[in-house]
Amino acid sequence: MTTYEVNFDGLIGPTHHYGGLSQGNLASTEHRHSVSSPRSAALQGLAKMKRVADMGIPQAFLPPQFRPDLPFLEEHGFAGSPQEIVSTAYQERPDLLSIAYSASAMWTANAATVSPSSDCVDGRVHFTPANLQTMPHRALEARNTTKTLRSIFHDANRFEVHDPLPSVPETSDEGAANHTRFCRSYDSTGVELFVFGRDGDNDPSLPRFPARQTRAACDAIASTHGLNLDRCVFAHQHPNAIDAGVFHNDVISVGNQTLHLVHQFAFADQDRVLADLADCFGPGLQQVVVPDHELPLADAVQSYFFNSQLISTAPNQMLLLCPIECSENEPANQIIASLLMADNPIRDCQFVDLRESMQNGGGPACLRLRVVLTEDERAAIPESVFLTDRRYHELCDWVRKHYRDRLTVSDLKDESLFEEVSVAMQELHAMLDF
């Protein structure tokens, strides 16, 4: 039976703005209160999805979450009609209004951690939606993400969508952005790498930026998914990398099937981590360590080289789909040229323009959740979430019709924005019958 890796990208929502809400994410804070273009952001994201789909790779998407999150504002004491809540919140707590309007659910690498049926003891695909409790604007996502995943992966004989872990610091979970799976083929049993930034009281040094993932969360997910712990590796993020802006592991390493690209300073105990991966996997895992003197941490973060997508295009052949910023960063460009000339599965590199997302702190890999599915499992989820040519053009037309070309933080007080978003989301849900 054929097994696929399906990319579920987040469809960027109509309230995409630069709130500068994500401490430790340098691009987010650098562009705080800049002018955004929700229309361009969504069209750029859709163009990336279309490029992947045109390669014959299954491409799906998750719809935006409705914003503003009025219950969040009501919990902070704002009352009245939606327009009154928005107006008062802007006058008294514009920071809370920005959180309530955040479109950060577009970065579906943080939606959940996913283990395919071939790795799980019960033979089902397991999902644990991320609680994202470190950042208030992201913590809003967990409930609706869980609901969405349960709507899509509704067949209990094939899928298990768990509740998010408790939303407390001890089990802080950021999803697949800190999780990588290696395998010889998508239908074979894999090795799952879990990366964390905090391990209770055992941290030798604490970074100045938040270490968002905990070891306890990783342990809990591996247990509830029914994984073989002999085929799991747990790695501690290097605190220096976190301080350099590596808020998730997918900003400092990327892996796919038999290839692992990793920066020299990705992990605190890097030699042990790479050796454990090699031992768990057995022969055939190629791990390419990029030295800091060739790609300094600052350039890795600025270019988001490691947030590229590694995509299998044929047996033992891969494409590196990089943000266009990599073509403009000389060290990153040199690394790409070296990889294309070296003995590894990468046969091609393409650059994609995601500047709107990048300026808010998310690159190609941030925008997608990888879900390995057999033919039967794929057939058990709604066709409406897959990106066909027709669906692509429908979504582009919908974006052009409903999204603003520019949006500032001060525009969030505009009562008409609430109405625009409401109408757009009603039309999208009708389109998807979702």
CA–CA–CA angle 198, 199, 205 (5° rounding): 60
Closest CA to 74 of 85, 83, 66: 85
Bridge pairing between strands 3-10 and 368-374:
antiparallel
The 3-state DSSP class for residue 271 equals helix
CA distance 199 to 192: 18
Sheet architecture: strand order including 253-256: 253-256, 259-263, 286-290
Residue 397 has which token pair?
């037309």
CA distance 347 to 339: 9
- Residues with Cβ within 8 Å of residue 290, at least 6 apart in sequence: 261, 262, 263, 264, 300, 335
CA–CA–CA angle 344, 347, 348 (5° rounding): 135
Q: Report CA-CA distances (Å) from 295 to 290, 300, 301, 355, 400.
A: 7, 6, 10, 21, 39
Q: Are 36 and 407 in contact (CB under 8 A)?
A: yes
CA distance 354 to 46: 10
Catalytic positions, written as ranges: 174, 248, 366
Q: Report CA-CA distances (Å) from 75 to 70, 100, 168, 391, 417.
A: 9, 11, 18, 37, 22
For the stretch 78-81, contacts whose Cβ atoms lie closer than 8 Å and that sit 24 or more positions apart, written own/partner, are none
